Amino acid sequence: MIWWHWSQEMKNSRFCQRGRGHLVESLTNQEVELRAKIEALGLELEIAKELDKLSAKLDDVDEMISSAMAADPQVKSLLSSTADVWMPVITATSDEKRNFTSSIGDDNHEENGKSSN
């Protein structure tokens, strides 16, 4: 009976040690996850600040364009008649802008190739 009691205590002791190790490992994983989340939040704050700066710059550009259009009817006419060219570039997503740049590079390469023939 004593042997059985002692072996049970040993099993429980090993279980507790394993359990504590698991608990420490679990806390470590939680700590790593929390640190990663804190870093991500910090990055989000930096991104938000940069977006605010860009938004302010866009507001300035909008004001300059509006003022130029109000001051000079030719500017308004020019911008209106060429909107189909510049509007897609201004409103494009990042991927679309990269495609514009790629296609312009391809066009320049083709023109250079034709002129050398």
CA angle 65, 69, 72 (to 5 degrees): 135
Domain count, the chain: 1
Residue-wise pLDDT tens digits, 47-106: 999 999 999 998 998 899 889 999 999 999 998 899 888 888 888 888 887 887 676 666
Tell me, yes or no, whether 41 lies in a domain: no
Tell me, yes or no, whether 117 lies in a domain: yes
Does residue 13 have a pLDDT over 60?
Answer: no
Tell me, yes or no, whether 115 lies in a domain: yes
Which residues have a Cβ under 8 Å from the Cβ of 89 and sit 6 or more positions away?
97, 100
Which residues have a Cβ under 8 Å from the Cβ of 63 and sit 6 or more positions away?
none
Tell me, yes or no, whether 92 lies in a domain: yes
Which residue has better confidence, 41 or 94? 41
pTM tops 0.85? no
Boundaries of domain holding 97: 82-117
Which pLDDT does position 19 carry in this prediction? 55
